[in-house]
Structure formats: C-alpha cells, structure tokens
Structure 1
Amino acid sequence: MEKVLFKIAKQWIAGDTVDDALIAAKSAYSLRRHAIINKLGEYHTSKKQIKVVLEEYQKIVNSFRKWKIRGAISIKPTQIGLSISQKECNRNFEKIIQKARNAHVFVWLDMESSEHTDETIEIYHTFFSKYERLGIALQANLKRTDNDLNDLIGMGAKIRLVKGAYREKANIAFKTKKDVDNNFIKLMKILFKKGNEFAIASHDTKIIQKAQSLSKKYPRKFEFQFLKGIREEFKSDLVKKKFVVSEYIPYGVNWLPYSIRRIKERKRNILLLGSSLIQSHRV
C-alpha cells in the first residue's frame, strides 16, 4: 500500500532533499509561478531533529537568490518546537525570521490541528510586529475562523485561506463539503472586501472562478496557491490572465502522513491528481 501511495504522492512532493525542492521551485519559476517550499514533518520533540529543520529552512532562504527563484517558505509550528513549548517554538522561529529578513523572503505560518490554533495565532501576533513579510493560514472548515479572520485583518495580517486537512470534531468544524465550501466563499468575500494581502489556496473550480469574479469588483493584492502537480491547466490559465500563482512544494522523507491527509481532505483530490498525472504523461 505504501508503494502505491508513494507513486501518487510523488506528483505533489518534490523529493527528499532541499535541492529536490529547489529544482521543483526553479521549474515552477520557469513557468512564471512563485514557489512556496515546505519541509515535511511535524510534532518534533527532539532538539536534534528540530535543529535539522532550522538548518534546512535557512539553507532554502539563502538559496533563493542564488537559484534565481521568487520563493517563500512555509513552516509548521510543531516542527520547530511547539510540541516542546511555545517558548521553544518562538526561539527557533526567531532564527528563521532573522534569515528571512536578511534575504527579504516571505514566510508563511502553516495552521495545524485545532488544538494549536490559538498558539499559532499568538506566534503570528508576536512576529508580525517584527517582520511584515509574514503570513498565516486559516482553515475554512473551522467554525471559529470567521472571528479569527476579522481579528487578523484588523491588524493588517496576510492570510492564506485553505479548506483544512485535519480531522476535527463536529462541534468546532463543518463536516460536509458543501458547508466547508460555503464557509470558504463567505470568508473569501471578507478577504476581498477588507483584506490587505492574501492567498486563495484551493483547487476547487467554483472557488477559483468566484475569486476571479470578486477580484474584478474588489481589486486587491492577492495570489492563487496550488499544490505542486495539481490543476496544471488552471495554473497556466491564471498566469496568462496576469494573476499571481504560487505552487506549494513539500519535500522530505516524512511524506506519508502528509499525503494521507491530502487524500482524506477531499476525495476530489484523488480525481484531480489522476487528471494531472494523465496530462503530464501527454506532454
């Protein structure tokens, strides 16, 4: 089963190493797309393991200019110490922010399961005042996100709106695709009406089309974000229309938990991936 999953997963995962990720980012940039690199892995409690994560993110940040890539990094708080303590996470995140500031690289703070939502927002508050090229992901499947979004917009935050890939309880999360999609569109409208700088991270045709429509009514600085290897036809079309498109490029050996979440997140991801695989073999 793992071998089968790997054949599927390698379409959206760059490979095991930093260089694999940079090669994928360079390929995206050649197609006039920006790149967002994420090292796979989460819930690290080993300081040795966390040290490796920090070193690799710092290497990526320092490599963008050398590789002539328009890139950003995306970090999960639990991979840099949040599973130990928020203090440990902040201490390590500070190191990454310092490198990013020196290289003028944008940093995204990924949102993980709901047990870490408050902590992640607190981390964002702490560091956004120090470095404005910092964004945070918010999940449309969580019922609390409406309030979080409005609060963060009020402080000028840069938002990545996603559907959400973590299994959550019904009392705090929308459970059906219809409800999640409706909430996503509701939140997206708020971003277009009041947002500062944001990203629409969805592969859903209806949502992408709605975003294009809203952009005509509410001109804003925003971008579309897609997983590597999915919806290639949309990426090319949006670039032709002069929209900013970024590819989210994960890499690393810890691909299995991430890939299972991506598949479980929305059954449609399997269909989209299959379509993308067919298209790639036709080229």
Structure 2
Amino acid sequence: MDQMREREQRLATQASAALKAIARRPDIKGYIEHNPSSYALLQRAAARYVTGEERSQALEVANQLIDYGYAISLEYIGENTLSVAACQQAQQELIGLILEMGQQRVRGRVSFDLSHIGLLVDRELALRHLLELGELSQRYTIELFISMEESAKTESILEIYRQAVAIYPLIGITLQAQLNRTSSDALDMLAKDTRVRIVKGAYEEPDTIALSRSAELDQRYEELFELAVQRGCHISIATHDEALITRLLQYDSKEAASVELELLYGIRPELCVKLREQGYPVRIYLTYGQEWYLYLCHRIAEYPPNLFQALVDIVGGEREAPVLQYHVT
C-alpha cells in the first residue's frame, strides 16, 4: 500500500511538471488558439476558473460575490508581453478596469503581472505604467497588487515595486515562500502597513534556489506569515492548503494591520464558504481575458486530479454557474 501511494505521488508530481511544460509550449498554445474545435472544448474547462473573456463578465461575477459577503481581486490575464503595443493594450485595459470599478463603486483589488505591462520590453516602461495605475487607483482608493513571476524576474519586480510603493502606498506585493531568497526579501521589505500576499509559488524552479512542496515549505510559509504579523502588515494568506490555513488562523494576529484569506475562483469554493461562515474575511481572486490557456494549465498542474474535472467540464452538459457555489446559505 505504501508503494502504491508513493507511485501515485510520483505520478502526480510528474504530471504536474508535464502540465507546466505544456503550458509554456507556444506551438501547442498556438494550435489550440487557431483551432476552433479545441479552443471551444478547452474554454468549457477554463470557465470553471476564469470568469470570461470580457471585463463586463468579470465585474458581474465580482458584484455577485460582493453581495455574498466576499472581498474580490480582479486580474486581466496576461504575462510575458513582448511588444510595446501589446503592453500599451494591457495598460489601457487595466486603466479601463480601475475606472469602471471606481465609477461603479466596486470595492476591490486589481492584480497583474509586471511582465504584462512592459517588464520584458523595458523596465522603465513597466515602472511608468505602474505609476500611472498607482495614481489612478489612489483616486478611487482601489488596491493594486503586483503578482510574482518566475525567479529570473524577481529582482526586477521587487525593485520596481519599491520605487512605486514609496509614492503610492496602496500598492501590494506577492511573495513566494518556495524561493530561498524570500525570507531575506521579507526582512528587508516588510514594514508597518505593507500590503503583502503570501503564496507557496506556482512555478517550476531549480531545487538549488527553491523548495518543493514539503513540510519545510509549509514551515517557511508560517515563518513569513509570522514576520508579516509582527511587522504590522496587511496580509493575504493565499493558499488552498486547508491544514496550513488552520494552523495560521491559530496565530495571535492582533499586531497585524489586517489578515484575510485569498483563494482563486473555482478552487475549493466549499472551503471559501466554510471560512466565510466561520466569520473570517475571504477574498476571491477573479480572472478574465483571452489569455486563459496558461492559467488553465497552471490550475490543473497545481492539483493533477483537476484534469479529471476538466474532462467532465469538457464533455458534460449544462452546469450550475461556478459563482453560485460561493453562496453562504
């Protein structure tokens, strides 16, 4: 029995790595995007995790979740943009999102990757775009949150964040517990009222610079959380690991400016309901846009059994809208 469990774990790890590799294959992505049949089928699977391709769809789901008592975070999906024109298009969409949220008085957070708005084209372009978003979001008191990307980008992301947050304090940063450097980064960066999202980390990284999924990784996550509490930060616990969440919620967190749970739309909605019913503040992370392929692959890779759910969603008939699973009865 132990050998069977070890084999299943090994296969799950291999499947996760394979799915992450597939996600980064431009030839596979291109084939799917230009093949109407495969695109439509995979779009059915993506609908569990992505609110839609249009901003209006994301805002509709966001407003429904707010009515259910959740906080929300919105992301226009995209990363690794390689042309100035594409970066400017992404920037205009984020500006439109902030304006619409502000005008509709939708209280929430806007999240994005810096590589979507210029990091890989020109670091100064990314900074200019971030400062523009910071000025606009401050007008409407909307938080901006910078997502974390592959380790090769970490130093640039943190440098741009430091420059921008010194001007616009409503900008938050994501820290990946899996990276060995993160403990040092946290010691340097976390101060009173810093807005920080702590994640385990979704990217395949060499074991020389990062931890794999393990008890050691969970321990590091707890240490980062404890440091953020002691420093008086606004903290988003961004994990679906219920055992880890349970341990973190047992901490004395009164020194923190605030603590919330942040979970991805479509992942563990029953856990979101449970936490909300227990009185904890829960934020749902919503995505929208046409670049959903990579996002879908990552959601499946994080938990390979989600592949079975994807198959059910592809071949199944009509199903209940995912947002309805978040209703607290």
The answer to whether the superposition gives a TM-score over 0.5 is yes
Aligned to 1:115: 152
Letter in 1 for 2:88: K
Aligned to 2:94: 57
Return the alpha-carbon distance in structure 2 between the equivalents of residues 269 and 157 of structure 1.
Answer: 34
Q: 1:218 and 1:241, CA in 2 relative to 1: closer, same or farther beyond 3 A?
A: farther
Pairing partner for 2:209 from 172, 187, 190: 172
Aligned to 1:145: 182
Instruction: State which structure, 1 or 2, has the greater radius of gyration over its C-alpha atoms.
Output: 2
Letter in 1 for 2:129: N
Deviation at 1:2, TM superposition (A): 5.8
Aligned to 2:297: 260
1:29 maps to 2:29: no
Aligned to 1:161: 198
Secondary structure at the residue paired with 1:111? coil
Return the alpha-carbon distance in structure 1 between the equivalents of residues 253 and 276 of structure 2.
Answer: 16
Secondary structure at the residue paired with 1:214? coil
User: Which stretch shows the higher mean deviation, 38-47 or 104-113?
Assistant: 38-47
Q: 1:87 and 1:189, CA in 2 relative to 1: closer, same or farther beyond 3 A?
A: same
Return the alpha-carbon distance in structure 1 between the equivalents of residues 193 and 255 of structure 2.
Answer: 17
Q: 1:271 and 1:219, CA in 2 relative to 1: closer, same or farther beyond 3 A?
A: farther
Letter in 2 for 1:187: L
Query: C-alpha root-mean-square deviation of aligned residues, in Å?
Result: 2.8
Aligned to 1:106: 143
Q: Spell out the pairing of 1:123-138 with structure 2 (5 A cutoff).
A: 123-138=160-175
Return the alpha-carbon distance in structure 1 between the equivalents of residues 144 and 55 of structure 2.
Answer: 17
1:236 maps to 2:276: no
Aligned to 1:16: 53
Return the alpha-carbon distance in structure 2 between the equivalents of residues 89 and 279 of structure 1.
Answer: 36
Q: Spell out the pairing of 1:265-280 with structure 2 (5 A cutoff).
A: 265-267=302-304
Contact 2:119/2:126, CA 8 A, preserved across alignment: yes
Pairing partner for 1:214 from 244, 251, 260: 251
Aligned to 2:6: none
Return the alpha-carbon distance in structure 2 between the equivalents of residues 270 and 185 of structure 1.
Answer: 29
Q: Structure 2 unaligned runs (5+)?
A: 1-37, 312-318
- Identity among equivalent positions (%) equals 25
1:96-116 CA-partner distances (Å, limit 9, x unpaired): 111111111100011100011
1:216-251 CA-partner distances (Å, limit 9, x unpaired): 675651111010122222222322333221111111
Deviation at 1:178, TM superposition (A): 3.3
Aligned to 2:237: 200
User: Which stretch shows the higher mean deviation, 41-50 or 4-13?
Assistant: 4-13
Q: Structure 1 unaligned runs (5+)?
A: none
Aligned to 1:40: 77
Return the alpha-carbon distance in structure 2 between the equivalents of residues 45 and 87 of structure 1.
Answer: 14
Q: 1:3 and 1:60, CA in 2 relative to 1: closer, same or farther beyond 3 A?
A: same
TM-score (norm 2): 0.78
Q: 1:204 and 1:11, CA in 2 relative to 1: closer, same or farther beyond 3 A?
A: same
Return the alpha-carbon distance in structure 2 between the equivalents of residues 219 and 47 of structure 1.
Answer: 40
Deviation at 1:39, TM superposition (A): 0.9
1:77-132 CA-partner distances (Å, limit 9, x unpaired): 10000001211111111111111111111000111000111111111110111111
Q: 1:104 and 1:174, CA in 2 relative to 1: closer, same or farther beyond 3 A?
A: same
Q: 1:149 and 1:250, CA in 2 relative to 1: closer, same or farther beyond 3 A?
A: same
Q: 1:97 and 1:52, CA in 2 relative to 1: closer, same or farther beyond 3 A?
A: same
Contact 2:192/2:233, CA 8 A, preserved across alignment: no
Contact 2:74/2:287, CA 8 A, preserved across alignment: yes
Contact 1:164/1:265, CA 8 A, preserved across alignment: no
Letter in 2 for 1:126: Q
Return the alpha-carbon distance in structure 1 between the equivalents of residues 306 and 49 of structure 2.
Answer: 11
Deviation at 1:211, TM superposition (A): 2.0
Deviation at 1:191, TM superposition (A): 2.2
